[in-house]
Amino acid sequence: MNFTINRTAFISQLNNVLRAISSKTTIPILTGLKMVVNENNIVLTGSNSDITIESVIDANNTDNDLSIEETGAIVLPARFFSDIVKKLPDKKVTIEVTSGFQADITSGSAKFQINGQDAENFPHLPEVETDKTVTLPNDILKEVIRQTVIAVSKQESRPILAGVHMTLKDGILTAVATDSHRLAQRKVVLENIDNGIDFDVIIPGKSMEELSGMISDVHEDVQMQVTENQVLFIFGNTHFYSRLLEGNYPETSQLIPKTADTTVELEAGSFLASIERASLLSHESRNDVVKLSLKPSENLVRISGDSPDIGMVEEEVTTSALDGNDLEISFNPNYMKDALRSFGQATIKISFTSPLRPFTLVPTEDQENFVHLITPVRTF
């Protein structure tokens, strides 16, 4: 095996694959990076058994400045190899394996020799054989992930809630996540989709976060393929595999209230700033709650937080609409901040039914397709 490549281009692809490699794996070879050199490309693979990322470096792409002298395959210690390549002195790097599993890495006047392993021992990629391919615009997919993954559960007691429930039916993609204290649901109407294609899968939240970090504005579309226990996303020269969570996701549609006794409309950005100020003190108290008082009869919305040891904060909130009954409700400010950030600078409508019932946040412009639900905190 022998090839020379532009170091910057190589590092870019290495960084992609490193996202899937963990030093904490119970399978020692998975701490390594699999490198297969073919006649006209190099395939880099990293895996932690939950996520597998495969990146192809094409010799036909002039940016890669890739010349292949001899084909071959090897598994190299990922973090160590990556650190070496990043610190090499020259614009180009040559990697050669002459005999056995020892790699010579040369760049300028620097030369490293590191021990590798037989690529045959690296777990084989899952086979994804399906005619069900869904094409998603990259910006839409990133937005769906950003708006839902915040509600994924971090608790291990209910592993099924550690994923995002994604369904496709009648051309409508629905993504839902809940940790049983809050819920985020996003719907997207996909155009030019074969109505015969549908799926119902639960993708680990950690996989979705990694995927979101990899999709850049350079990639126009992302292809999604689903099989029984794997999902594959294809974009640019990258294949991103993730295992699926097994089990039935709880039915969440009936959790979202259809009616409201009190509603308020306000700017998400400015309300977020108010919550952040109020939570400065609430974080210091034992129960960490912020109280929201709504008085439509006086056209007044007030937010407050206090810590017995430090003091209290109180602030009036600017609203664009306020209707219904007077209400006081307490909630976890972290849940509210996460929700508000997912709306960006949009105007939102918050709907309440009672002080102890979950309340919903929706954008005023598109109320049907995105909803965030938060369960209040009982303070008495």
The CA distances from residue 251 to 168, 205, 248, 256, 356, in Å, are: 16, 18, 9, 11, 21
Render pLDDT for 122-131 as a digit per residue (tens, 0 to 9): 998 777 777 7
Mean pLDDT (whole number) for 312-329: 94
| Structural domains of the chain ordered from first start | 2-121 (3.10.150.10), 133-243 (3.10.150.10), 256-374 (3.70.10.10)
Write phi, then psi, for 364 (nearest 5 degrees).
-65, -25
Average pLDDT, the chain: 92
Q: How far apart (Å, rounded) are the C-alpha atoms in residues 357 and 213?
A: 35
How far is residue 181's CA from residue 50's CA, in Å, rounded to a whole number?
A: 26
Q: Report the pLDDT averaged over residues 322-338.
A: 95
pLDDT for residue 124: 87
Q: What is the pLDDT of residue 308?
A: 78
What burial letters (b/e) apply to 26-40, b meaning 16+ CB within 10 Å? eeeebbbbbbbbeee
pTM (two decimals): 0.91
Which tokens sit at 245?
């969570």
Mean pLDDT of the region 71-89: 96
Name the percent of the chain lying above pLDDT 90: 76
Checking if the pLDDT of 67 tops 70, the result is yes
Sign of CA dihedral 268, 274, 277, 278: negative
Span 274-306, pLDDT tens digits: 999 988 877 776 778 999 999 999 999 999 988
Query: Phi, psi (5° rounding) for residue 82?
Result: -65, -45
pLDDT of residue 193: 78
> Quick check: 132 pLDDT over 80?
no
pLDDT confidence band for 218 (50 / 70 / 90): low
Report pLDDT for 380: 61
**pLDDT tens across 249-275, in order?**
999 988 999 999 999 999 999 999 999
CB 196 within 8 A of CB 209: no
- The mean per-residue pLDDT over the stretch 8-21 comes to 94
Which pLDDT does position 285 carry in this prediction?
A: 66
**Mean pLDDT, residues 24-47:** 94
